[in-house]
């Protein structure tokens, strides 16, 4: 005791510094090694004392670990919460993610290799098809055919659905899902290096076995069991919902994995952004015109005027609005009585995501997810985004149209 007191009295603290070192136990759990080096002056000598701590951090105790949660791990963890789950949906989502990684790579190389330009063909919508559209469509349909979980693929680029035979004999693992794609949304923007994307949506089949039927494919949006999109932008991000919130994963190109970056995304209830192609103004209905005029008027108490933001790639516009709040609109007009966007490939999946994030989506009158589809390539007007803003748009439409 006497010795200790004498020691404390004779020393003088000169300084200290901390060294932090990370040692990985495995991909998700790690140790943080902390040294505190205390420098003291003891009579005429400088000495230092090292204090060493080893702190174990598991993924349950650290928010830092979100950086290391892969898409596949997240999907599996979600699926484990459902006792009767067979793991097929996880595999299917992993197949889609892999195909999108391949598309992302090709999109990033598009300026380098001679892949840009029209192929000269037109898709079922009568629009010019670019090579990357064809490529993305091929990759996605091929990966669905190989995976064994799908009984039919429906793509915006195909004339009709592609029925798929079972590849597993095991009855439990039969191809129980149907998948819809917009393989490369916003493709008119490719040449200008503007963000584009892939949209997908998954339903359970209605028929019991064999290749899928048109009835399996033509289901109401409310029946979707999962939906998502990928934006190929300044980074590649995949956002999906399986009916339990909306989660975003950013592609880390160095490890080739989608890593959790946006957990449980929520869209602000009211916003200050509207996204619409105003060049169509003269062709819109009275209700739509009045609503856009209203957004541009000055009124501090209601946060007006709103800012206009329009990329012209639905996924990019939708993604920005999901993050910051906003309303995206593609209304019907004199030339396009049902608007431009497709119910099955664009409106339904994004509406499922919007609702899961606390937003709203309608064709101006009816909730998108309640629309009963009649054809695969059916179009619909779309008002989607922050709940209060979509409600406001619906109010104008019901009042003036
Ligand atoms: P696409 O799927 O053929 O690319 O077309 C859909 C795109 C959307 O991404 C976008 O919102 C819209 O068309 C833009 O249309 P417009 O140029 O008429 O504003
Ligand atoms: Mg599209």
CATH of the domain at 257: 3.30.540.10
Number of independent structural domains in the chain? 3
Residue 108 belongs to a domain: yes
Measured from the Cα of 186, ligand 1's closest atom is: 4
Q: Name the closest ligand to CA 382.
A: 1
pLDDT score, position 25: 55
What is the pLDDT averaged over residues 255-277? Answer: 95
Residues 214 and 77 in one domain: yes
Q: Check pLDDT > 60 for residue 9.
A: yes
Q: Quick check: is 252 in a domain?
A: yes
Q: Does the residue 267 lie in any domain?
A: no
Query: Which CATH number fits the domain that encloses residue 312?
Result: 3.40.190.80
Cβ–Cβ < 8 Å for 78, 87 = no
Ligand closest to the CA atom of residue 313: 1
Give 263 Cα–ligand 2 centroid separation in angstroms.
25
Residue 312 domain-assigned (yes or no): yes
Give the Å distance between the CA of 371 and the centre of ligand 1: 21
* Same domain membership, residue 151 and residue 53: no
Which structural domain range is residue 168 located in?
71-262
Q: What percent of the chain has pLDDT over 70?
A: 77
Test site for ligand 1: of 232, 341, 343, 347, most ligand atoms within 8 A of the Cβ: 341
Provide mean pLDDT across the span 303-318: 97
What is the predicted pLDDT for the residue at 128? 60
* Three-class SS state of 330: strand
Shared domain for 277 and 250, answered yes or no, is no
CA dihedral 261, 265, 267, 269 (to 10 degrees): -140
Mutate which of 158, 312, 333 for ligand 1 pocket (most atoms within 8 A of beta carbon) = 312
Same-domain check for residues 223 and 326: no
**Residue 268 within a domain:** no
Whole-number Å distance, alpha carbon 31 to ligand 2 midpoint, is 46
125 CA: nearest ligand 1 atom: 3
Atom of ligand 1 nearest to the CA of 188: 4
Q: Do 59 and 99 sit in the same domain of this protein? A: no
N- to C-terminal Cα separation, the chain: 91
Q: If you measure from the C-alpha of residue 186 to the centroid of ligand 1, how many angstroms do you get, rounded to a whole number?
A: 5
Residues 225 and 100 in one domain: yes
Q: Residue 124 — pLDDT band, cuts 50, 70, 90?
A: low
For residue 166, with 0-12 CB atoms within 10 Å meaning exposed, 13-18 middle and 19 or more buried, which class applies?
middle
Tell me, in angstroms, the distance from the centre of ligand 1 to residue 194's CA. 13
Looking at per-residue pLDDT, the higher value among 50 and 304 belongs to 304
Q: Tell whether 113 and 237 lie within a shared domain.
A: yes
When pLDDT is cut at 50, 70 and 90, the band that residue 97 belongs to is very high
The residue ranking higher by pLDDT, 236 or 254, is: 236
Structural tokens at position 356: 């899961």
Q: Which of 66, 88, 111 is the last residue of a domain?
A: 66
Q: What is the mean pLDDT of residues 41-52?
A: 66
Q: Tell me how far the alpha carbon of residue 185 lies from the centroid of ligand 2, in angstroms.
A: 4
Model pLDDT, residue 386: 98
Provide mean pLDDT across the span 21-41: 63
In a domain, 365, yes or no: yes
Asked whether the predicted pLDDT for residue 27 surpasses 60, the reply is: no
In sign, the C-alpha dihedral spanning 376, 380, 386, 387 is: negative
Per-residue pLDDT tens over the stretch 128-152: 655 888 899 999 999 998 888 999 9
Mean pLDDT of 269-293: 98
Q: How much distance in Å is there from the Cα of 395 to the middle of ligand 2?
A: 27
Q: Which of 229, 262, 295 is the last residue of a domain?
A: 262
For residue 230, the number of C-alpha atoms closer than 13 Å in the C-beta half-sphere is 27
Confidence of residue 62 (pLDDT cuts 50, 70, 90): very low
Mean pLDDT score of the chain, rounded to an integer? 86
pLDDT score recorded for residue 247: 97
pLDDT at position 26 is 56
User: Are both 256 and 375 inside the same structural domain?
Assistant: no
Q: Is the pLDDT of residue 274 over 80?
A: yes
Calculate how far, in angstroms, residue 276's C-alpha sits from the geometric centre of ligand 2. 15
The Cα–Cα gap between 92 and 143 comes to: 9
Q: Which of 46-55, 118-127, 185-194 has the lowest mean pLDDT?
A: 118-127
Residue 163 and residue 228 in one domain: yes
Question: Which of the listed residues 262, 288, 316 is the one where a domain comes to its end?
Answer: 262
Quote the pLDDT of residue 79: 83
Question: How far apart are the CA of 157 and the centre of ligand 1, in A?
Answer: 14
Tokens of 395: 């109010």
Tens digit of pLDDT for each residue in 149-206?
A: 999 999 999 999 999 988 766 655 578 999 999 999 998 888 888 999 999 999 999 9
Residue nearest to atom 18 of ligand 1 (CA): 277
Residue having the nearest C-alpha atom to atom 14 of ligand 1: 312
How many H-runs (helices) and E-runs (strands) does the chain carry? 9, 18
| Residue matched to tokens 């060049």 | 279
From the alpha carbon of 189, which atom of ligand 1 is closest?
Answer: 4
Nearest CA to ligand 1 atom 2: 185
pLDDT > 80? residue 53: no
Q: Quick check: 61 pLDDT over 60?
A: no
- Ligand 1 pocket, CB under 6 A: 127, 182, 185-188, 277, 312-314, 330, 340
Same domain, 252 and 287: no
Q: What digits encode the pLDDT tens for the residues 345-397? A: 999 999 999 999 999 999 999 999 999 999 999 999 999 999 999 999 999 99
Ligand closest in space to the Cα of 277: 1
Residue 226 lies in a domain: yes
Count of C-beta atoms within a 10 Å radius of residue 385: 31
Ligand nearest to the CA of 123: 1
Q: Which atom of ligand 1 is nearest to the CA of 316?
A: 9
Measured by CA distance, the residue closest to atom 17 of ligand 1 is 312
Q: How far is residue 216's CA from residue 209's CA, in Å, rounded to a whole number?
A: 11
My answer on whether 118 and 211 are in the same domain is: yes
Q: Are residues 91 and 230 in the same domain?
A: yes
CA 280, chain centre distance (Å)? 28
For the cut 70, the answer to whether the pLDDT of residue 29 exceeds it is no
């Amino acid at each position: 005791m006497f010795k200790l007191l004498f020691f404390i009295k004779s020393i003088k603290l000169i300084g200290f510094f901390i060294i932090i070192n990370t040692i990985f136990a495995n991909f998700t759990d790690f140790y943080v090694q902390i040294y505190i080096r205390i420098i003291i002056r003891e009579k005429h000598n400088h000495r230092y004392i090292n204090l060493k701590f080893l702190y174990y951090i598991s993924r349950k105790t650290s928010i830092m670990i979100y950086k290391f949660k892969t898409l596949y791990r997240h999907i599996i963890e979600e699926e484990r919460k459902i006792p009767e789950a067979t793991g097929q949906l996880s595999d299917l989502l992993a197949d889609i993610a892999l195909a999108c990684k391949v598309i992302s790579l090709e999109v990033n190389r598009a300026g380098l290799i001679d892949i840009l330009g029209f192929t000269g063909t037109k898709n079922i919508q009568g629009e010019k098809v670019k090579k990357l559209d064809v490529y993305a469509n091929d990759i996605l349909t091929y990966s669905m055919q190989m995976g064994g979980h799908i009984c039919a693929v429906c793509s915006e680029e195909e004339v009709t659905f592609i029925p798929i035979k079972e590849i597993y004999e095991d009855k439990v693992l039969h191809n129980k899902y149907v998948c819809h794609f917009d393989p490369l949304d916003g493709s008119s923007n490719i040449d200008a290096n503007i963000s584009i994307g892939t949209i997908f949506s998954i339903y359970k089949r209605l028929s019991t076995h064999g290749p899928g039927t048109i009835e399996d494919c033509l289901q109401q949006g409310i029946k979707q069991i999962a939906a998502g999109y990928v934006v190929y932008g300044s980074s590649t991000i995949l956002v999906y919902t399986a009916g339990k919130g909306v989660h975003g994963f950013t592609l880390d190109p160095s490890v080739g994995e989608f890593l959790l970056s946006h957990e449980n995304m929520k869209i602000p209830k009211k916003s200050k952004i509207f996204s619409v192609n105003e060049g169509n103004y003269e062709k819109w209905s009275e209700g739509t015109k009045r609503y856009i005029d209203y957004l541009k008027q000055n009124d501090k108490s209601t946060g007006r005027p709103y800012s206009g933001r329009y990329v012209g790639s639905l996924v990019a516009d939708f993604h920005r609005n999901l993050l910051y709040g906003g309303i995206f609109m593609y209304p019907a007009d004199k030339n396009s009585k049902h608007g431009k966007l497709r119910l099955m490939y664009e409106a339904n999946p994004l509406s499922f995501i919007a609702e899961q994030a606390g937003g709203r989506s309608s064709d101006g009158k009816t909730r998108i997810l309640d629309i009963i589809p009649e054809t695969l390539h059916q179009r619909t007007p779309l008002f989607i985004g922050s709940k209060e803003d979509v409600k406001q748009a619906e109010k104008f439409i019901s009042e003036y149209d």
